[in-house]
Amino acid sequence: MTFQPLAEIADIGRDRELGGWSRHLLDPADRALREWFVGRAQELGLQTEVDVNANIWAWWGEPGPDSVVTGSHLDSVPGGGAFDGPLGVVSALEAVGRLRSTGFVPRRPLAVVAMAEEEGSRFSVACLGSKLLSGALPAERALGLRDRDGFSLAETLDRAGLAPERAGRDPGALSRIGLFVELHVEQGRGLVELDSPVGLASNILGHGRWRVVFDGEGNHAGATRMQDRRDPMVAAAATVAAIPAVAMAHPGSRATVGRVRAVPGGTNVIASRVEVFLDARAEEDLLTRRLVHEITELAAARAAENGCSSRLVEDSWLPTVHFDPAVREGLADALAPGFGTVPVLPTGAGHDAGVLSEYVPTAMIFVRNPSGVSHAPAEWASAEDCWAGVDALTAVLTAHLAA
């Protein structure tokens, strides 16, 4: 059985080439999904607004201090799953729909939020909307970020009718948040092993994104003898092949290369430059730093062997997040009547809640993912567990909005 609220948007952003869904900040799919969100929220009687950082807020009651905010993101990784992000947004709308249909009157303002560019699939920085909102990422650095077609974030915001010069830290928006709760499909099998449909987050692994840039000598694929080459692709490939062993030497670490960019990228052209996009994470931030350092040294050695140079560029970094146990306890108390003791577990995936937890009281609810697979078309959660997530979120909102 399919979780109907997600089925409603399943045709938006379906990627026929990659499979799964591709929805990236303000591209046609993202715009269609944002339009759907605004329409659905307005049907529920919520007041919608797009903030200066392209995050969308749907308010029940006047925006004000001590609001309860819930939601997630609508964008995806390339060829991603249907649940990562949208499950949190549609579940929030379902919970609000339930509360409104029972005549519930909240004692605090409530907002459902769809954060912009959480996956960083277009501008390469994860949690862009929440990092701009909180000031974790300075606007002047973000506005110059360019997508694969060379468009800057500033141009993209401008073309969407937003004022890029106003993007950045939004103290007003931050000060209104009394509690942020993000519901998210689990990206892993923790809840399967714990045999529970829902769970609460304890912490998020620190993680970052780097580019290892190899520079060599661009040349003709046919006219250049093998011994005369300074081919950065060879250095890059040898480095990528050696990364798993480096990560495995640090138990609990994860290092991934999901994207490589050859410049200029012609089949009959020896590349002049190759960029290796690295995602590294570990249970201790120092360990992540050490892992990246070892990979950088490995790259320098492979580059030297091939007459090339290498350098490291840091694109983004989010330290390990420990969610506030007192905030989590508040959710656990609200869930106890309906769910008993809800398990608490860590996540290796980043979230807007991780960014915002530095600034406002924040918690996360996870929904069981039977295979644990995420960032792939096979990502899935049962309708039963998704409705359990809506039940859980409704209980949490009821308890915190009545307070």
By CB under 5 A, name the binding residues for Mn ion.
84-85
Ordered DSSP codes for 294-341 = HHHHHHHHHHHHTT-EEEEEEEEEE--EE--HHHHHHHHHHHHHHHSS
368 is in an annotated binding site: no
Distance of alpha carbon 3 from the chain centroid: 22
Among 143, 234, 349, 364, binds ligand HGY (CB under 6 A): 349
Least spacing, CB of residue 403 vs ligand HGY, in Å: 31
268 is in an annotated binding site: yes
Q: Are 311 and 207 in contact (CB under 8 A)?
A: no
Residue 85 interacts, among ligand HGY, Mn ion, none and using kind-specific CB cut-offs from 5 to 8 Å, with Mn ion
- Which helix (DSSP H) or strand (DSSP E) does residue 90 occupy? helix 86-101
| Cis, bond preceding 5 (omega within 30 deg of 0) | no
14 is in an annotated binding site: no
Q: Please, what is the angle between helix 28-43 and helix 86-101, to 10°? A: 10
Pairing state between β 321-322 and 198-204: antiparallel
30 binds ligand HGY (CB under 6 A): no
Residue 126 interacts, among ligand HGY, Mn ion, none and using kind-specific CB cut-offs from 5 to 8 Å, with ligand HGY
List of residues 6+ apart from 327 with CB closer than 8 A = 179, 361, 362, 363
209 is in an annotated binding site: yes
119 is in an annotated binding site: yes
Residue 109 interacts, among ligand HGY, Mn ion, none and using kind-specific CB cut-offs from 5 to 8 Å, with none
Q: Are 278 and 244 in contact (CB under 8 A)?
A: no
List of residues 6+ apart from 274 with CB closer than 8 A = 213, 214, 216, 232, 233, 235, 236, 260, 261, 262, 263
- Choices 118-126, 160-168, 357-365, 387-395; region in contact with ligand HGY by CB under 6 A: 118-126
Residue 352 interacts, among Mn ion, ligand HGY, none and using kind-specific CB cut-offs from 5 to 8 Å, with none
Task: For residue 89, report the phi and psi dihedrals to the nearest 5 degrees.
Answer: -75, -45
281 is in an annotated binding site: yes
List of residues 6+ apart from 91 with CB closer than 8 A = 5, 183, 367, 386, 389, 390, 393
Among 81, 206, 330, 350, binds ligand HGY (CB under 6 A): 350
Q: Which is nearer to Mn ion, 85 or 129 (CB)?
A: 85
Ordered DSSP codes for 161-188 = T--GGG-S--HHHHHHEEEEEEEEE-SS
Q: Which is nearer to Mn ion, 203 or 309 (CB)?
A: 203
Strand partners, 58: 48, 112
Tokens of 245: 């062993």
Among 94, 117, 118, 147, binds ligand HGY (CB under 6 A): 118
Rounded Cα distance, 332 and 337, in Å:
9
Q: Which is nearer to ligand HGY, 73 or 368 (CB)?
A: 73
**Interaction with ligand HGY in 122-141: which residues (CB under 6 A)?**
126
73 is in an annotated binding site: yes
Least spacing, CB of residue 350 vs ligand HGY, in Å: 4
Q: Which is nearer to ligand HGY, 250 or 351 (CB)?
A: 351
Give the burial string for 101-121 (b: 16+ CB within 10 Å, else e): eeeeebebbbbbbbbbbbbbb
Q: Which is nearer to ligand HGY, 197 or 350 (CB)?
A: 350
Residue 350 interacts, among ligand HGY, Mn ion, none and using kind-specific CB cut-offs from 5 to 8 Å, with ligand HGY
Least spacing, CB of residue 231 vs Mn ion, in Å: 18
Least spacing, CB of residue 112 vs ligand HGY, in Å: 20
Tokens of 64: 């004000």
Rounded Cα distance, 179 and 95, in Å:
16
Least spacing, CB of residue 155 vs ligand HGY, in Å: 24
117 binds ligand HGY (CB under 6 A): no
| Residues 73-92, mask of contacts with ligand HGY (x by CB under 6 A) | --------------------
Binding site listing for allantoate: 209, 268, 281
Residues tagged in the binding site annotation for Zn(2+): 73, 84, 119, 184, 375
Contacting residues toward ligand HGY, per CB under 6 A: 118-119, 126, 349-350
